[in-house]
Amino acid sequence: MQSSIQPLKGIRVVEFSHMVMGPATGLILADLGAEVIKIEPLKGDNTRRLKGSGAGYFPMYNRNKKSLCVDLHTEQGLKLVTDLVATADVVIENFRPGALVQHGLDYESLSARQPGIVYCSLKGFLSGPYAHRTALDEVAQMMGGLAYMTGLPDKPMRAGSSVIDITGAMFGVIGILAALQEKQHTGLGKMVQSALFETTAFMVGQHIAQGAISGVEPPPMSVRQSAWGVYDSFTTADNEKVFVAVVSDTQWRKFCEAFDLTDFAMDDKLATNGGRFDHRNIIIPKLTVVFAQMPTATLMQKLDTIGLPYAPVNKPMDLVTDPHLNDGGLVDIELENGKRIKLPALPIEMNQQKFGLRHNPPRESESAQQLLSAMGYSDDQIHQLIADNVIRGD
Whole-angstrom distance, CA of residue 365 vs CA of residue 66: 8
Rounded to the nearest 10 degrees, how much is the dihedral formed by the CA atoms of 20, 23, 24, 29?
170
Average pLDDT in the 135-162 region? 96
Question: What is the reported pTM?
Answer: 0.95
Average pLDDT of the chain, as a whole number: 96
CATH 3.40.50.10540 boundaries in the chain: 12-204+328-387
* Model pLDDT, residue 311: 98
Tens-digit pLDDT profile for residues 297-316: 999 999 999 999 999 999 99
Band the pLDDT of 4: cuts 50, 70, 90: confident
- 10 Å CB burial of residue 380 (0-12, 13-18, 19+) is exposed
State whether the Cα torsion 107-109-115-117 is positive or negative.
negative
Estimate to the nearest angstrom the gap between the alpha carbon of 335 and the chain centroid.
Answer: 20
Q: Please list the residues that pair with 273 across neighbouring strands.
A: none
Q: For residue 62, what are the contacts with CB-CB under 8 A and spacing of at least 6? A: 23, 26, 27, 38, 361, 362
Question: Which are the contacts of 278, defined by CB distance < 8 A and separation ≥ 6?
Answer: 269
Please give the CATH number for the structural domain made up of 12-204+328-387.
3.40.50.10540
Q: Show contacts of 7-10: CB within 8 Å, 24+ apart.
A: 7/32, 7/33, 7/350, 8/32, 8/33, 8/34, 9/33, 9/34
Does position 242 have pLDDT exceeding 90, yes or no? yes
With cut-offs at 50, 70 and 90, classify the pLDDT of residue 227.
confident
191-195 vs 12-16, strand pairing mode: unpaired
What CA–CA distance (Å, rounded) separates 289 from 283? 10
Residue whose C-alpha is closest to residue 306's, from 351, 254, 347: 254
What residue type is assigned to position 211 of the chain? G
DSSP conformational letter for 378: -
> Which strands sit side by side in the sheet containing 191-195, from one edge to the other?
65-69, 35-40, 12-16, 90-93, 118-123, 191-195
Residues of the chain with CATH 3.30.1540.10: 226-315
CATH superfamily for domain 226-315: formyl-coa transferase, domain 3 (3.30.1540.10)
Q: Write the pLDDT tens digit of every residue in 182-222.
A: 999 999 999 999 999 999 999 999 999 999 999 999 999 99
Helix (H) or strand (E) holding 37: strand 35-40
The pLDDT-based confidence of 3 (bands split at 50, 70, 90) is low
- Mapped onto helix, strand or coil, the DSSP state of residue 334 is strand
pLDDT value at residue 225: 80
